[in-house]
Amino acid sequence: LRAPEGRPPLRDAVRPHDRVVIVFSDITRPMPNDRVLPVLLDELSHVPDENIVLLNALGTHAPNSPEELESMLGAEIVRRYTIMQHDAWDEANLIDLGETPYGNRVRVNRTFYEATFKIITGFIEPHIFAGFSGGPKGVLPGVVAFDTIARNHGYEMLRHETVTWGHTDDNPVWQEMSAAARLARPDFLLNVTLNRHRQITNVFAGDLWRAHGEGGRFV
């Protein structure tokens, strides 16, 4: 976080008056939020707690219960910070950013988009149709509308033979996820890699594309 890829140190980049949104993975993912978020938030100690929102990247999944959130994030974080659970069907909190080159309309969480500093967290591993997890997947499917996800995960996209593990540049699903992230314009990425015991094996931070590219090569 203090020597990120293609970005200034996080503490220098975020101003005390910024409205910060941090996207985190939901309970269906093995992301060690309880170990990663405290370190991230410590680097943002100059920002008042009330200026920070933690946004649960549910995609189309069910909201996590208060008990689940506490087990995922830790009691101290749940007590201190505002936690929002993304709702892919909440029309009032979705903003239209236009279409991807594949004709899919991208509607993204309004609170996320309107923040003055947007941070995506997650982990990187091979993914059965996105190529790799992490990176732009924090936006799509994480915090977009149901119809945006349905189109991206539909047959017309998944039928291509390059939609498989480890493929990104020639993978239309990944390319559309990347297009959605470019429309949403996140400011900073923090991704980790894990082993089978959920131990952190490496950390990648900074510019979304540079940091995630390094993480993919490491994996």
Task: Give catalytic residue positions.
Answer: 61, 127
Q: What share of the chain is helix, strand, coil (3-state, %, to 5)?
A: 35, 25, 40
Amino acid identity, residue 184? A
For 140-174, give the DSSP string.
Answer: TTTTB-HHHHHHHTSHHHHTSTT-STT--TT-HHH
For 59-116, give the DSSP string.
Answer: TTSPPPPHHHHHHHH-HHHHHHSEEEE--TT-GGGEEEEEE-TTS-EEEEEHHHHH-S
Q: Bridge-partner residues for 53, per DSSP?
A: 21, 82
Q: Is residue 102 a contact partner of residue 176, using CB atoms and an 8 Å limit?
A: yes
